[in-house]
């Protein structure tokens, strides 16, 4: 169902120094710090304004190439591991025709401005510099192939951001053929990177190089990855009857010792207390029944008048493995009024929505740990 192939990966000499988080999770403070060093940040998020940004990306990429290794056609195995969690997947390229045909399934729409930015970045570098994170339904065949690949000597092995990052290169043609055959009968689901893959597709429509017809992916088994809570922080609750207003749609009670919320349980931190919110009605619909949808349509819109979570300045988002004290500090010490703490969306929900050709609500999923940018680049020339 998906045509995948090896590619001539371009790798840095010192990945521990060079690799950085994905461009879209780097905050202003981290950006300033990264720009003080010699890393992929100067390619991914270069300084400048307007056209200067993309010219600086091109120059930084060309400069970096001088100290990088270009492999023979290969597929890679990338593993992130810690004492508490390990994830792994193949890095390879896949046909953008299969993306256009729906075999690489999406669950959200792209937005014009960030899409234009990523297209211009590809035009400047003529490369896929970031990984599009995809998953496949659990396959014993593919997991055994990963086990086999991990028995060889890695080409990179280092610690960064709390995880050990290990990369193996697979260039044996017979093994690659087995991997290619294994992917022919299964769809892929985009987990993270909708703008990156759409930008690669738009670039391919105006460029006839063979490599431009393929996009670099990270492909992982859906039972070997995790989604963490993607929580909502409200800057200002302009209401003296906030709790009473919530009760129109939710059963609400104080929590003395809050644990992790179950599905269809929303937790609220407000005025020094944790509250449990249980919806009085759960819609009989694939998307509307998701907890992020219930919160949006039954509370954020009617109570707080937040209709567009992407643009409303009264809301921002915190995702990842963060302690309760972090959220309490946001309210108690940093001037915000409330936190909504959610049960994470499941990968099966994501796959079901994608299979139905529908879209998840904005900010539904936080995949963790994030994949490093800079381990491997895919040149389109």
The neighbour count for residue 377, using CB atoms within 10 Å, is 26
Token pair of 159, please? Answer: 């610690």
Cα radius of gyration rounded to whole Å, the chain = 22
Query: Which segments of the chain does DSSP mark as H helices, in order?
Result: 15-18, 28-34, 41-44, 51-65, 96-101, 112-125, 140-149, 173-183, 194-204, 242-246, 291-295, 301-304, 324-332, 347-355
- Euclidean distance between CA atoms 369 and 116, whole angstroms: 27
Q: Which candidate, 131, 109, 134, places its Cα nearest to that of 189?
A: 134
Is the pLDDT reported for residue 185 higher than 90?
no
pLDDT range class, residue 363, cuts 50, 70, 90: very high
Per-residue pLDDT averaged across 19-41, rounded? 94
The helix/strand/coil state of 178 is helix
Domains of the chain: 4-227+369-379 (no CATH), 230-343 (3.30.1760)
pLDDT, position 82: 96
Per-residue pLDDT averaged across 273-288, rounded? 97
- Euclidean distance between CA atoms 252 and 245, whole angstroms: 11
What percent of the chain lies above the pLDDT cut of 70? Answer: 100
pLDDT, position 381: 87
- Euclidean distance between CA atoms 153 and 44, whole angstroms: 29
Q: Is 279 within 8 Å of 273 (Cβ atoms)?
A: no
pLDDT digits (tens, 9 = 90+) for 40-87: 999 999 999 999 999 999 999 999 999 999 999 999 999 999 999 999
- Euclidean distance between CA atoms 28 and 330, whole angstroms: 18
pLDDT, position 279: 98
Per-residue pLDDT averaged across 3-22, rounded? 97
- Mean pLDDT computed over every residue of the chain: 96
Per-residue pLDDT averaged across 295-315, rounded? 96
Is the pLDDT reported for residue 245 higher than 90?
yes
pLDDT, position 13: 96
Q: What is the DSSP string of 39-90?
A: STHHHHS-S-STHHHHHHHHHHHHHHHTTEEEPSSBEEEEEEE-SS-EEEEE
pLDDT range class, residue 1, cuts 50, 70, 90: confident
In order of 249, 281, 346, 379, the CA distances from 291 in angstroms are 13, 12, 11, 40
pLDDT, position 175: 94
| Sheet order of strands, 273-279 included | 250-255, 273-279, 266-270, 338-341, 230-234, 315-319
In order of 62, 83, 358, the CA distances from 164 in angstroms are 28, 10, 36
Is the pLDDT reported for residue 302 higher than 90?
yes
Q: What is the 3-state secondary structure (H, E, C) of 98-150?
A: HHHHCCEECCCCCCHHHHHHHHHHHHHHCEECCCEEEEECCCHHHHHHHHHHC
Q: Which candidate, 376, 379, 367, places its Cα nearest to that of 135?
A: 367
Is the pLDDT reported for residue 103 higher than 90?
yes
Q: Which candidate, 232, 233, 241, 246, places its Cα nearest to that of 276?
A: 246
**Burial letters 116-128, b for 16+ CB under 10 A, else e:** eebbbbbbbbbbb
pLDDT digits (tens, 9 = 90+) for 326-351: 999 999 999 999 999 999 999 999 99
pLDDT, position 183: 94
pTM over the 0.75 mark: yes
Per-residue pLDDT averaged across 182-194, rounded? 94
Per-residue pLDDT averaged across 226-240, rounded? 94
């Amino acid at each position: 169902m998906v045509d995948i192939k090896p590619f001539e990966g371009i790798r840095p000499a010192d990945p521990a120094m060079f690799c950085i988080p994905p461009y879209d999770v780097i905050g202003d403070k981290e950006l300033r710090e990264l720009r003080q060093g010699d890393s992929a940040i100067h390619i991914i998020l270069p300084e400048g304004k307007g056209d200067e940004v993309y010219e600086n990306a091109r120059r930084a990429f060309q400069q970096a190439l001088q100290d990088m290794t270009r492999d023979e056609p290969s597929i890679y195995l990338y593993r992130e591991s810690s004492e508490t969690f390990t994830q792994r997947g193949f890095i390879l390229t896949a046909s953008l025709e299969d993306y256009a045909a729906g075999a690489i399934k999406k669950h959200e729409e792209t937005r014009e401005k960030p899409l234009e930015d990523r297209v211009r970045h590809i035009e400047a570098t003529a490369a896929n510099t970031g990984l599009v994170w995809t998953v496949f339904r659990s396959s014993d065949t593919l997991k055994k192939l990963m086990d086999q690949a991990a028995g060889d000597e890695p080409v990179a092995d280092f610690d960064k951001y709390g995880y050990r990052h290990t990369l193996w290169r697979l260039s044996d043609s017979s093994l690659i053929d087995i991997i290619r055959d294994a992917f022919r009968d299964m769809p892929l689901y985009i987990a993270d990177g909708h703008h990156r893959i759409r930008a690669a597709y738009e670039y391919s429509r105006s460029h006839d190089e063979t490599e431009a017809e393929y996009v670099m992916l990270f492909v992982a088994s859906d039972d070997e990855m995790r989604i963490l809570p993607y929580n909502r922080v409200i800057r200002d609750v302009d209401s003296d009857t906030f709790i009473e207003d919530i009760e129109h749609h939710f059963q609400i009670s104080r929590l003395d010792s809050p644990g992790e919320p179950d599905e269809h349980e929303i937790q609220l931190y407000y005025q020094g207390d944790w509250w449990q919110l249980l919806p009085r009605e759960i819609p009989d619909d694939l998307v509307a029944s998701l907890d992020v949808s219930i919160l949006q349509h039954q509370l954020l819109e009617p109570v707080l008048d937040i209709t567009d979570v992407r643009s409303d300045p009264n809301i921002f988002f915190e995702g990842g493995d963060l302690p309760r004290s972090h959220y309490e500090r946001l309210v108690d010490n940093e001037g915000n009024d409330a936190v909504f703490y959610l049960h994470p969306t499941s990968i099966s929900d994501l796959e079901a929505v994608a299979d139905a050709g529908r879209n998840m609500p904005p900010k539904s999923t936080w995949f963790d740990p994030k994949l490093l940018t800079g381990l491997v680049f895919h040149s389109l020339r």
